[in-house]
Structure 1
Amino acid sequence: MNDRRGSTLSLAVVGGLFALLLSRGVASGQAVGLVEADVSVREDAPATNFGAASLLVADSTPGRQAVTFLRVRVSGVGGLRVTAAALRLQVATPAGAGSDSGGALHAAPCGWDELALTWQSRPAVDAQVLARVGPVAHKAIAAFDLGDAIGGDGVYCFALVSESPSGDDVTYIGREGKLSAPELRIATALATTTTVVTSSTSTSSSSSTSSTSSTMTTTSTTSTSFSTTTTPTTATTVLAGSTTTTTVPPCLSGDGPLVTLTGTLSGAYNSQSLAAGTRIDARAATFLASPTNLYPISLGGAGGCCLLGGTVLGQYDRTWTWSQMHGINNAGIAFLNGDFTIDGLRVDDVEDGIRPRQGGGFTVRNAWLSYVRDDCVENDHLQDGLIDDSLLDGCYVAFSARPSPSIISSGYDGRNKLWTIRNTLVRLEPMPGPDGPTPDGLGHGGFFKWHLWGDPVNSLSPKLALHDNVFLAERVGVVGADRMGIPPGELLECVMVWLGPGDFPAPLPAECFTVTTDRAVWDNAVADWVARHLSRLDGAKTQP
């Protein structure tokens, strides 16, 4: 088995990684941070240049001190503001590459040449510490928070210095290495604008639609209002005594029709003819899923649309078995639109949480799903898509890309598509009456449902890319030990929290997965996610 409990997992690294990098889904722009030069200099080889070396070292031991210099070029920020920046360094593979100190970053001059710099010619560095990382294990990713140091486009230089009290050096992989090279990840947001805030009270449903807006149909609602307009949300309007400063969420920053939903909807919001680029602001809306409202949000029409916020609360009996929930076929949201974005949706107690059906290019970010009785994300129509910075805290199955015979006969084929899941927390939850016998009557499936699991060459499922995720399971699923693993794909620095007996039951790529039995890794990551997202989930229910 691939249980790596022998190598200590640093909670500081895991917590820091998610504190910094999960947040980039808040409002990502096209900003790019390129580490264009890195070089270590060594006191015990004062005239030697190590610019072509594949490893980077920081060492505080007198007589053999080592400092690493990095030069980063940032572009694409433009008029946006930087909300977060993290320099990621991967600790090298040998067990001794880790340290009790991941090091501290200081600002440094940029007038050095990667292929000429030596200990003797190294520049003086700024005394102030910009970012530091505590203990790191081998193969771990250390994330240095540079959010206050990166202000926009330009060139930035840093020096990495060891802070180990014991002289324990740390070794990272450099640009020339074969695994993860140094990387600067940047999150951006639109600059703040000044907009007029108005309020109104409605005791019944109403709808006003401009000539270019989408058509929509709704069933009975309670204390709900709808409005549609094509006024760009980035426009600045100033009226004396009635202005306020707000930040326009990226989901609402386009110029397509704007639909605003508020109140509690006991019937479906069903709009199958959305105009291109429609923006749906559902931050103040709650959708009640039930046996008489199987698809509380059902969308179709043109592509490039976005749903911001919203809370789907299932009214299903929480003691129902898997077959009872599966038998009535329901989902929190289903959509047919291409390039559709879900941002900040909260879903609880439904069969499938999110169900993309066609069009491709879907994005789910900042979503929070719990007690999902079958698939948290059902992608059985084999679309390409992205799950980013989301909390899937209670799935029977996390991700499905297993088409039914009718879907296959309709020509759906994901073999040339990519499904990326990154910066996301995923927990399988034992639920009543699983699809198979268990001693206590509780159970779940695996993390993935995949077409032709044992025959990846002929599988129709999309290619898979997993980056910087944390998974948790506390028992073997009813699908069996061999199905608790991960389908083949591009895997990078994920963590598996295993709370069951013995070793994790399925093979995991050792170079990509760290397995731990420490529940605190999961709990800390969830607490961090919730703390960072509550302010953005305006009005969303935090508990069922």
Structure 2
Amino acid sequence: MDRRSFMSLAGSSVFALLPGWQEAQGGQAPLPAIDSGKGQPIVLNGEYGYEQQSFRDLPEGATIDARNASFLVANSRNSEPSAMMGCDEGTLPVNRYPLVIRDCPGVRFIGGRFNGQVPQTSDWRDTYCNSAAVLVRGETANATIEGVRARRCWDGIRFTEGAGGFHLKGSWLSEIRDDAVENDYLLSGTVEDCLFDGCFSGISVDPAKNDRDGTNEVVHIDGSLIHMHAYLAKGEITHQTPVKAVDQSPRLRITGSVFALAAANMRGFHRLERTWRLAIECRDNMLLWLPDEPMPFEFPMPPSGFRVLKGIDARRYWDKARLHWITAHQDVARFTDEAL
């Protein structure tokens, strides 16, 4: 896929909002009206800080409009967890799951700005107090999560048991200390038109030691940009893979997407090889090797559905693709100190 064809794909609109306006509260900018066909949307406005917002047993197909809402994500009780003082020790406030959706089949969650306070320089294992900006759980099949802006979180979006058929789209996640998307229950779902601009791990479909089997499920990664970021992890500055997979993971469809690898000493070559093997469809993708160092001899090269760029060519491609995505998604919230 050349630059022009990718830019055309990445520039597609992500919001299907109908004409009309509704008055927003608290002096916020008016929001385009939404007609979900399921009654009036639930509207969240303003700063929620460390207060968790939880939704349960909503009518099927309900809409939660959080485009004028902001949340804080905090997983550590101290600002620099260590082997001597872990993330569960200290006096700082925590808000490990600021937005929880449970038992809401067909729910549509739109927007939300999640500003994380998860430590960025401490070792991964000392910072591992589980957390996610958005948690979708229980009987919440076929949920749509769109237009989320989140940064400096542990996990970005997490889908757990009962949340199969999820659709994450048009969302911008950055500086993610663990998984941009955690799908460790091995559910079918789609990640479409998203920008993951710096994450230790991209999309996790690894149940760890749990006895789960997702071999009959499919995850589609479509039109998305996944940029890995190296963090301190077990004494080494490194990162994991764009897809963290095991043999029992769902099959993969990878189309029109970009995987950008930042660390020459990245971990998980076996996971990368497994990602290629799990792909039942693979076309129009880019693999960007961003370091100037050559690819290691043992690096598992992708299948023919990927074009590979290295070094300065890869970095230029990423910079253009990232800027184009951001420019094309003006409806996604920004932080006031955002440097674009």
TM range (shorter): 0.7 to 0.9
How many residue pairs were aligned? 308
Q: 1:413 to 1:520 in 2, by over 3 A?
A: same
SS of match in other structure, 2:127: helix
Q: Is 1:466 matched with 2:254?
A: yes
Q: Assess if the C-alpha contact under 8 Å between 1:284 and 1:539 holds in 2.
A: no
Q: Is 1:434 matched with 2:233?
A: yes
Q: Distance in 1 between matches of 2:219 and 2:43?
A: 30
2:73 to 289, 295, 306: 289
SS of match in other structure, 1:530: helix
Q: Distance in 2 between matches of 1:513 and 1:539?
A: 31
Q: 1:530 to 1:201 in 2, by over 3 A?
A: closer
TM-superposed CA distance for 1:365, in Å, is: 0.5
TM-superposed CA distance for 1:423, in Å, is: 0.5
Q: 1:509 to 1:487 in 2, by over 3 A?
A: closer
Q: Distance in 1 between matches of 2:336 and 2:215?
A: 38
Q: Distance in 2 between matches of 1:420 and 1:270?
A: 28
Q: 1:511 to 1:335 in 2, by over 3 A?
A: same
Q: Is 1:193 matched with 2:19?
A: yes
Q: Assess if the C-alpha contact under 8 Å between 2:245 and 2:271 holds in 1.
A: no
TM-score with structure 1 length normalisation? 0.53
2:206 to 402, 407, 411: 402
Q: Assess if the C-alpha contact under 8 Å between 1:256 and 1:276 holds in 2.
A: no
Rg larger in 1 or in 2?
1
Q: 1:312 to 1:427 in 2, by over 3 A?
A: same
Per-residue deviation, residues 329-355 of structure 1 (Å, max 9, x unmatched) = 111111121100111001111111111
Q: Assess if the C-alpha contact under 8 Å between 2:218 and 2:252 holds in 1.
A: yes
Q: Distance in 2 between matches of 1:332 and 1:402?
A: 19
- State the one-letter code of the partner of 2:254: L
TM-superposed CA distance for 1:508, in Å, is: 2.7
For 1:145-184, list aligned pairs within 5 A: none
Q: Is 1:338 matched with 2:141?
A: yes
TM-superposed CA distance for 1:401, in Å, is: 0.6
TM-superposed CA distance for 1:370, in Å, is: 0.6
Partner in structure 2 of residue 511 of structure 1: 304
Q: Is 1:416 matched with 2:216?
A: yes
For 1:114-153, list aligned pairs within 5 A: none
Q: Assess if the C-alpha contact under 8 Å between 1:257 and 1:277 holds in 2.
A: no
Per-residue deviation, residues 298-339 of structure 1 (Å, max 9, x unmatched) = 11113110110001111223222211222x111111112110
Identify unmatched segments of 5+ residues in structure 2: 76-93
Q: Distance in 2 between matches of 1:369 and 1:329?
A: 17
Q: Distance in 2 between matches of 1:201 and 1:464?
A: 44
TM-score with structure 2 length normalisation? 0.83
Q: Assess if the C-alpha contact under 8 Å between 2:171 and 2:332 holds in 1.
A: no
Partner in structure 2 of residue 40 of structure 1: none
SS of match in other structure, 1:319: coil
- State the one-letter code of the partner of 2:187: Q
- State the one-letter code of the partner of 2:233: P
Q: 1:487 to 1:254 in 2, by over 3 A?
A: farther
- State the one-letter code of the partner of 1:340: A
Partner in structure 1 of residue 10 of structure 2: 22
Q: Distance in 2 between matches of 1:461 and 1:469?
A: 20
Q: Assess if the C-alpha contact under 8 Å between 1:434 and 1:478 holds in 2.
A: no
Q: Distance in 2 between matches of 1:509 and 1:317?
A: 33
Q: Distance in 1 between matches of 2:222 and 2:228?
A: 17
Give RMSD over aligned pairs.
2.5
- State the one-letter code of the partner of 1:325: T
Q: Assess if the C-alpha contact under 8 Å between 2:106 and 2:144 holds in 1.
A: yes
For 1:271-282, list aligned pairs within 5 A: 271-282=55-66
- State the one-letter code of the partner of 1:22: A
Q: Assess if the C-alpha contact under 8 Å between 2:149 and 2:333 holds in 1.
A: no
Percent identity, please.
29
Partner in structure 2 of residue 120 of structure 1: none
Q: Assess if the C-alpha contact under 8 Å between 1:25 and 1:365 holds in 2.
A: no
